Amino acid sequence: MSSAVRAARARELGELVSPPGRSPITSPRRRLAASAFLRGPWLLLGPALAVVAVITGWPLVQLVVMSFQKYGRAQIFGAPPEFVGFDNYVEVLTDTEFWVVLGRSLLLCAACVVATMGLGVAVAVLMTRLGRGLRLLVSVGLLLAWAMPALTATTIWGWLFDTRRGLINYLITQFTGADFMGHSWLNNWVSFYFVATVVITWQSVPFVAFTTYAALTQVPREVLEAASIDGASSWQRFRQIVVPHIRAVLVVLLVLQIIWDMRVFTQIYTLQAIGGIAEQTNTIGVYIYVTSVVSGDMGAGGAIAVLLVIIMLAMSGYYIRSVLREEGI
């Protein structure tokens, strides 16, 4: 809380407890009340901030420290870690595979974010035009997709795209006449990422749809009706009235989707286990796991994780600054 805001609240409190027409009373009791009024929000936020600091802050500090150390299997069993400075970062940044994996992750993230945001907003708009019964049915379907564990959902989608007995190959064969039975979707990196995009988007759409629907219910109907009377089309009303009202919500959703899709792990790792070629399909989340756990180089894995955090903060900060700038903050 800024000093200007604190001063304004203190003046407001003083005016509330002062007689009309007289200057604010500055007795010790009133000053104590004003001080308690200003400390109240921090006292309420204190427990939550403490939990976040313990659960998120301390592991993040440990990760940063580990990224400057030589930390392998010997250190896990009690050997003291060796401080190596920026050697881990130099090793990672000069590794060609890191840049290839990062490029794949960015492309997959872009595809998933575009598909998720587009479908999520479309479903939310559709829900505003459905009756109560159909809206309830759509909501239940979205909740089922959202609540399903990522491992379970990926396994089911892997069965659907199975090479020999997959439903997708059967339907394509039946409707197109082409012989798709025996086609491997996971053996090629392009079709592998197509399947991964379908799985990730399928589980991400419900969150975007529910959040956007909640925001759409807050758009003033009088403004929409006035624009309709003035001759504005549905698309013009959506673009010029609805989107500005829910822009802040959409930006928050966009930032969250970027963060979640950049660090996706379960879906990629499971599809690789079903039939994908790991060397051709690793994303940054799987690459960190392979470097840290499989290869045993936790120092380099920590450096990759720190670099990923920096990248996501930079990407998120751009959108947050743009919204604050538009709001005049």
- Dump pLDDT digits (tens) for 235-283: 888 888 888 888 888 888 998 899 889 889 999 999 998 888 888 899 9
Distance, in Å, from the CA atom of 43 to the CA atom of 54, rounded to the nearest integer, reads 17
Which letter does DSSP use for residue 69 in this model? E
101 vs 79: which has the higher pLDDT: 101
Q: What is the pLDDT of residue 9?
A: 52
Q: What is the pLDDT of residue 99?
A: 93
Distance, in Å, from the CA atom of 171 to the CA atom of 167, rounded to the nearest integer, reads 6
Mean pLDDT of 32-39: 63
Residue with tokens 């309420």: 44
Does pTM top 0.95 for this prediction? no
Q: Is pLDDT of 25 > 50? A: no
Q: What is the pLDDT of residue 81?
A: 84
Q: What is the pLDDT of residue 270?
A: 92
Distance, in Å, from the CA atom of 246 to the CA atom of 133, rounded to the nearest integer, reads 25
Q: Is pLDDT of 56 > 90? A: no
User: Above pLDDT 70, what percent of the chain?
Assistant: 86
Mean pLDDT of 209-216: 92
175 vs 200: which has the higher pLDDT: 200
Mean pLDDT of 115-119: 95
Mean pLDDT of 41-67: 83
Domain span(s) for CATH 1.10.3720.10 in the chain = 87-327
Which letter does DSSP use for residue 56 in this model? I
Q: Is pLDDT of 23 > 50? A: no
Computed over every residue of the chain, the mean pLDDT equals 83
Q: What is the pLDDT of residue 204?
A: 93
Q: Is pLDDT of 1 > 80? A: no
Q: What is the pLDDT of residue 124?
A: 92
Q: What is the pLDDT of residue 304?
A: 92
Distance, in Å, from the CA atom of 135 to the CA atom of 122, rounded to the nearest integer, reads 14
Q: Is pLDDT of 100 > 80? A: yes
User: Which tokens sit at 8?
Assistant: 């304004």
Mean pLDDT of 124-143: 89
Fold of 87-327: MetI-like fold (1.10.3720)
Amino acid in position 36: A
Q: Which parts of the chain fold into alpha helices (H)?
A: 3-17, 28-52, 58-67, 73-76, 87-93, 96-129, 132-147, 150-160, 167-176, 189-216, 221-229, 234-237, 243-262, 266-274, 278-281, 284-289, 298-327
